[in-house]
Structure 1
Amino acid sequence: MSDIDTSASQQLSDEPRGFRPSARRRNRLAAGIALGAIAIGGNVGVYSALNSSEPAVQVVRDVAAGEAITSDMLRTVDVNVDATVNVIEGVDLRSLVGQYARVRLVSGSLVTRQALQVGPLVSVGNAIVAFEVDASQLPVGVRERVPVRLVIPADRGDDDQTPLSIDGRVVGFPTESDSGVGRVSVSVELNDADAVVVASADDVRVVLLVPSPDPAAAGLGE
């Protein structure tokens, strides 16, 4: 054989051969591809479930406790929540107009049945009076519709006078007062006669009472 033929044969033998995996390795590759396909299918199923949202009622601006609900206060948004979550379906939005906010509704929050009522917060024969107290004298837990006892201290110059106590119900969150640092304004529902007494008092203390049924909640959820 000539030197040329020998060199050509040597070059052919030195060329890299194509990759040919063994049967065992091919089985492993096939199993890996199958597992990947299963994982992708599972993720698609999960994302599909997450996208099964339903319309619910949302507040678009802050609504004070006792304020009448109007159509411009609400809208529907698509949400994905568990069936046990207490929301109002979007189809019921129109039926909420004309009801009253039982508590303060914060813009962006979803509306629940317990947050609304069919009648006004203030009952017939009652009135709402606002007064200021030091924030340090306000009991923890004072919020909308909780029962409280208002105590008007006795006049120090009158030994025969005793403190006067009047029961009422808070109608809104205490708000910071503009008249002084560390003071808050509290609005309480009382009967007409007691409201006059509290409004004319120079000093009113707030006592938080044990929770009791709220008369204004009658018809809730109707």
Structure 2
Amino acid sequence: MTTTDDVASLTTVTIPQRRVVRERSVRRGRLGVAVALMAVCALGAVALFGYVSRTQPYLAVGRDVSVGAQITAADLVTVHLNPDPGIAGVPGDRTDQVIGKYASVALLSGTLLNANALVDKPFPAPGEQVVGVSLKAGQMPSAPLRPGASVLLVSTEESTQDKPAAAAPTIRATVVHVIAGARDGTATVSVAVGESDGPVVARLAAQGRLVLTLTSGS
């Protein structure tokens, strides 16, 4: 004989079917999330590929190089950067053109190699001195000065009432390195001069009495 309590217990057996429906709903939700994540990853991969494909190889300094040292293959590494007009770098396929040159300034590890920091000949050569000359606009040509350019250093002698202006000495020099100044039109130019001319150039430069001119073939 079936009692009321037995009927009540039988009517509660439908709960497992409801759990199955909920588990299927959860699985479908997880599947949708997985598909969305896969789509995001695919889009990220495409964007990354597009970014990498736009980069170009440039030469960088792999270890510190002292002033005047000759560049070797061990000093260089290749980095990939997006091309930009503001990047004064050396393309990665010009390694052969760089090896064998000399550093006109100290090159620091991890920095991008700049062609203007390299010269073809060792310096200072025997019998030469390198002197830094600070110049203002009007004391040098507006044309860019390149390392290796031949220049003339002309002094501007001041005349006095008791003494007429002496003939301005002219000293031949070679540009080693150029650093643009904080103000427009100013620059500090390192030049290689004869050993006997070094002290003269240093004294005139300290007095601001030097004008730099380019010679033919510079």
Counterpart check, 1:87 vs 2:103: no
CA contact (8 A) 2:146 2:175 kept: yes
1:126-205, aligned counterparts within 5 Å? 127-128=128-129, 130=131, 139=136, 145=147, 151=155, 153-154=157-158, 158-161=162-165, 164=168, 166=170, 171-172=176-177, 187-190=190-193, 197-198=200-201, 204-205=207-208
Match of 2:44 in 1: 43
CA contact (8 A) 1:173 1:186 kept: yes
TM-score normalised per structure 1: 0.51
1:65-119 residue CA offsets vs partner (Å, 9 max, x unmatched): xx25242761334x222467743437x6465332233555333223355543434
Distance 2:60 2:205 in 1: 41
Query: When the two structures are aligned, how many residues end up with a matched partner?
Result: 192
| Structure 1 residues 188 and 105, CA gap change in structure 2 (3 angstroms) | same
Match of 2:108 in 1: 106
| Structure 1 residues 200 and 57, CA gap change in structure 2 (3 angstroms) | closer
The percentage of aligned residue pairs carrying the same residue is 18
The answer for unaligned runs of 5 or more in structure 2 is: 180-187
| Structure 1 residues 87 and 94, CA gap change in structure 2 (3 angstroms) | closer
Distance 2:129 2:18 in 1: 94
What amino acid is the match of 1:81? Answer: L
TM-score normalised per structure 2: 0.52
The answer for unaligned runs of 5 or more in structure 1 is: 175-184, 216-222
